[in-house]
Amino acid sequence: MKKYLVAMLVLAGVSVGWAQEKEQEGMFGDSFSTGQWSVDFYTGYFSEAHWATMPTGVTYDLTINGITIERPIKAKIDMQDSWIFGGHFGKEWEYLGWEAGLAGVFGDLDVTTNLPNGFVANDQLYTSGDASMILTNFNLMVYPGGNNLMEGRLRPYLTAGPGLAYLMIDQKYLDDEFLVDMNAGLGTKIYPFDNDAVFMRVDWKWHYLFKGDEVRDTYHKELTIGVGFNF
């Protein structure tokens, strides 16, 4: 986490220098009529979800009326609340825009089993693990207020689009997988300087991941902050 905070502080310093350099190149809205290219970097929260319930191949002995039966043990695998770090590249006009995104999600797995209290498994159970995710998206964006809010310093937007996710899983009972992602959300860009060269952004998105082989369809929420540059 420390390295992400250091990276964001470095970006903040670069932002101030970039804004001062571009200060004489035009005020808000001067370049949105012909389109404005942008790049940004962001970090934040990615919510937990239940990924799968998998057989472990391990059993426990259950004795009923003197008869011993081997019962299978299953593992419930959940991804815990995670950290996301990534960036966007895109182009926007006053009311419309698009962006392509690439991000990494890093978190731990919570693995629980249906082994009853007081019973002992007949073999080793693996009840820990971690996971990371590469997330790509292509989103369309709508800016309902254009450049009309706070003289263009505030540009809220709606966003939605498709993507792909690759899960890299370090857990014995679950393998790496590709999934399809659909996301939608809202956010705003904030221009703190007297031009549109540098912006901050805050996003909330809802992700639906599906089409996995073993990982079930899941829902995740994303809340992020970031800093970006127009050019």
Confidence of residue 20 (pLDDT cuts 50, 70, 90): very low
pTM of the complete model beyond 0.85: no
pLDDT at 40: 97
Query: What letter represents residue 188's amino acid?
Result: T
Q: How far apart are CA 131 and CA 108, in angstroms?
A: 6
Condensed to tens digits (0 to 9), the pLDDT of residues 54-82 reads 999 999 999 988 899 999 999 999 999 99
pLDDT confidence bin for 23, thresholds 50/70/90: very low
DSSP annotation of 30: T
Mean pLDDT, all residues of the chain: 87
Q: Which of 207, 125, 212 is nearest to 176 (CA)?
A: 212
Helix ranges restricted to H, the chain: 2-21
Contact predicate 51/83, CB 8 Å: no
Residue with tokens 């079930």: 216
Q: Are strands 67-79 and 36-46 parallel, antiparallel or unpaired?
A: unpaired
